[in-house]
Amino acid sequence: PPSLWGVPNVLVITSDQHNKAVLGCAGDAHVRTPNLDALAARGTRFDAAYTNNPICMPARATLATGRYGHTMGTVDNGSPYVGDEADSWGRRLGEQGFQVPTFGKLHFDPEGDSGYDERLPLHAKRGYVGAVSGWARGHVSPSDVLKNQVLLADIGEFEYTAYDQYTARSAAAWLSEEASRDHPWAAYVSFAYPHYPFLVPQQFVAGTTPGDIPLPSQWAQDQWPDHHELNWRRESMGLRDGLTEQQLRQMRWIYYGMVGFLDHQVGVVLDALEASGMAEDTIVIYSSDHGDMLGEKGMIMKSLMYESSAGVPLIVAGPDVGEDVALTTPVSLADVYPTVIDGVGGEFTEADGELPGTSLLVVARDEPDPDRVVFSEYHGPLSIGASFMIRSGRWKYVDYCDDRSAPQLFDLESDPGEEADLGTSADHAAIRAALDRELRTILDPEAVDREIRSAQWEQLQHAGGLERIRPRGPAPMALGGYSVPSEEIMEIVRAGLLERPDQLHRTK
């Protein structure tokens, strides 16, 4: 058995766009997440966990490589991970003889080589308008495309629903039939939910109504924070007049059901792990690439440094990991790479010495360190200049590379809802200065912003320039900025689901 090696297996499970607060074990009594709650009960929950870039592709590149996006050129949804920017933990372990399969959404470059054994992956869609418009920062006309996603929130199914079910079953089958019993392995299972479109099968909202779901902080227009960057983004997303209470409640109701659907699929995988007899020898990591604002402060989707967007759920359970523990030590997705290598007893290389992260197994065993520094950056759609975040202790500092956007500072101990922005408070100037110095030990914000914006503008010209993204009439209601599996993949998915119809509506 794996335990004879003195090290366990590692199973990494991720979702897409999971707001860290919408989780039963995080204190939300309105969402149904029995499987993730049970995982947290037998493991450690990191309550100060962050993405290193609150948008899909660069966040996934960091999760795979342990490196910050600006060091690799993976900074937006037009620059997915190819494989040669830096080694993934899949490549590192695959070269050492470990099984490293992946199941589900990777969002890497479809023409690259990630180093993993990829099983029917969902990859980035090349050249889609959402990626191209991300290169034209500050030059994009307002659009109601993202707002329309909220207006379409309803009971229903689409490609992601079937794809995630297939992903769960494929991973479960591998655990039952292919996973090594005599050598540690590292597997990656990645779900597309609860990323919009906001659609969910009826069974996951049964017994609830939109009125049961609470409204978020500062959702009403007269409560919105007045900040240039936020105002720009609301305008860009067609949210100048906000959402009505009914629209917001409907969207959040569906989203809560989507998180329940996700939890259901996680349960399929964890049940298979238990049935395989390897659960006691497997470290399980659950997280997400970023969160979703869900109407908080008049904002939707991701790409901001608020807790709802840049914060992520993160649970680690398994051998020698504390049970039913909640840690306040700040951590990030950059810590996943060293955790996986450490967990299976793999060998680090000299290049790995440059990694900014630390194994979460070490963090969990050490004394809590609330002053540990974590970093996040954003260079993508809806922004003007770059934004950079530093979290250390009770403080979160956000620096904007735009002269019209003041820095932000939040005291998360006294203001967990981030309603009191201390970014221009004279009494907190010294704290901002100290955190800004910390940021500049990681990178030169202005220089990195100039370099990335110049590269993005060049990419935009190659893609057809501003003409490529200029609106030509009203956008279709269903148009969104997301990738779906090809029809070729969906044919395999549908056939695969029909092989086990009895499991289609599995209940916990």
Confidence (pLDDT) at 508: 28
- Strands 186-190 vs 101-105: parallel, antiparallel or unpaired: parallel
- Measure the CA angle with vertex 457, ends 124 and 441; round to 5°: 85
What contacts 98, CB < 8 A, 6 or more positions away?
183, 184, 185, 186, 344, 346
Confidence (pLDDT) at 479: 57
Confidence (pLDDT) at 470: 64
Q: Which amino acid is at 196?
A: Y
In 195-347 the beta strands, taken as DSSP E runs, fall at 199-200, 282-288, 314-317, 325-327, 331-332
Residue 148 is inside which H or E element, if any?
helix 145-151
List, for residues 346-368, the tens digit of each pLDDT value.
Answer: 999 999 998 999 999 999 998 88
| Site of tokens 């809560």 | 256
Pair 200, 252: CB distance under 8 Å? no
The 3-state DSSP class for residue 78 equals coil
Pair 22, 15: CB distance under 8 Å? no
Burial (Cβ within 10 Å: 0-12, 13-18, ≥19) of residue 479: middle
Q: How far apart are CA 405 and CA 487, in angstroms?
A: 43
Confidence (pLDDT) at 74: 94
**Region of residue 345 (phi > 0: left; psi between -120 and 50: alpha; otherwise: beta):** left
Count Cβ atoms below 10 Å from residue 413 Cβ, excluding itself.
11
Name the DSSP letter for residue 504. Answer: T
Please list the ranges in the chain whose pLDDT falls under 50: 1-5, 501-508
What contacts 465, CB < 8 A, 6 or more positions away?
none
What contacts 205, CB < 8 A, 6 or more positions away?
155, 253, 254, 256, 257, 260
Name the DSSP letter for residue 473. Answer: S
Q: How far apart are CA 386 and CA 307, in angstroms?
A: 18
Burial (Cβ within 10 Å: 0-12, 13-18, ≥19) of residue 162: middle
pTM: 0.95
Token code pair at residue 16: 């897409």
- Measure the CA angle with vertex 268, ends 263 and 272; round to 5°: 140
Confidence (pLDDT) at 384: 87
DSSP letters spanning 172-233: HHHHHHTS-SSS--EEEEE--TTSSS-EE-GGGTTT--GGGSPPPTT-SGGG----HHHHHH
CA–CA distance from 479 to each of 129, 136, 248, 252, 256 (Å)? 10, 19, 19, 20, 22
List, for residues 402-454, the tens digit of each pLDDT value.
Answer: 999 999 999 999 999 999 999 999 999 999 999 999 999 999 999 999 999 99
Q: How far apart are CA 9 and CA 281, in angstroms?
A: 6
Q: How far apart are CA 39 and CA 91, in angstroms?
A: 28
Pair 453, 137: CB distance under 8 Å? yes
Q: Which of 62, 66, 91 is nearest to 338 (CA)?
A: 66
C-alpha torsion angle, residues 272, 274, 280, 284 (rounded to 10): 50
